[in-house]
């Protein structure tokens, strides 16, 4: 040590900052954890409100898809098909596979499972001035809601 003398700003031996025993905050910790879980559950529940149900999403995609096809907008329609369709159908042939004569109208959808995965079947009626063709679009959740097939119905 040096031989420095004089008034010092601090004592040589400061008092300990915490003189008592620490308080346990387990109640606060539990409240924070429970609050976090409650907020997470509420957010998951609200996703259905903001994004809509699977049926609503499937009907919306089917409406945009059929409208784009009937108006010749193959690029928009092709953006809404699943990877399996992209692998087997080039954009130039998309209307050959999916387009029916007439004006499309989405009627409704029903949920099911195909190969263990969720799928929506969306009923579409194509009205060509009295001549009507009823189809079902197969809509799957694949990086968003995508059209993955079509089948004629009677």
Asked if residue 71 has pLDDT above 80, the reply is yes
Residue 95 is part of which domain span? 53-152
pLDDT for res 151 = 86
Tell me, yes or no, whether 63 lies in a domain.
Answer: yes
Strand order in the sheet with 145-152: 103-114, 117-128, 131-141, 145-152
* Angstrom distance (rounded) from CA 132 to CA 105: 11
Comparing CA positions, the residue from 124, 134, 137, 110 lying closest to residue 56 is 110
* Angstrom distance (rounded) from CA 96 to CA 98: 6
Asked if residue 110 has pLDDT above 70, the reply is yes
pTM for the full model? 0.66
Q: For 129-142, what is each residue's pLDDT tens digit?
A: 888 999 999 999 88
Tell me, yes or no, whether 46 lies in a domain.
Answer: no
Q: For 79-102, what is each residue's pLDDT tens digit?
A: 999 999 999 999 989 988 898 998
Tell me, yes or no, whether 97 lies in a domain.
Answer: yes
Task: Report whether 67 contacts 105 (CB < 8 A).
Answer: no
Q: How many domains does the chain have?
A: 1
Task: List, in order, residues 6 or more apart from 16 with CB less than 8 Å away.
Answer: none
**% of the chain with per-residue pLDDT over 90:** 45
CATH of the domain at 79: 3.10.450
Half-sphere exposure of 63 (CA within 13 A, CB side): 10
pLDDT grade for 121, boundaries at 50, 70 and 90:
very high
């Amino acid at each position: 040590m040096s031989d420095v003398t004089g008034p010092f700003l601090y004592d040589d031996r400061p008092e300990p900052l915490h003189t008592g025993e620490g308080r346990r905050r387990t109640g606060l910790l539990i409240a924070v954890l429970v609050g976090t879980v409650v907020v997470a559950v509420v957010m998951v529940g609200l996703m259905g409100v903001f994004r809509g149900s699977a049926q609503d999403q499937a009907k919306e995609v089917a409406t945009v898809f059929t409208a784009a096809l009937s108006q010749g907008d193959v690029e928009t329609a092709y953006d809404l098909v699943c990877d399996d369709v992209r692998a087997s159908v080039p954009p130039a042939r998309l209307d050959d596979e999916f387009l029916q004569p007439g004006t499309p109208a989405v009627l409704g959808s029903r949920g099911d499972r195909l190969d263990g995965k969720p799928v929506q079947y969306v009923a579409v009626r194509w009205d060509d001035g009295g001549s009507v063709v009823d189809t079902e679009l197969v809509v799957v959740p694949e990086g968003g809601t995508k059209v993955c097939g079509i089948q004629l119905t009677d």
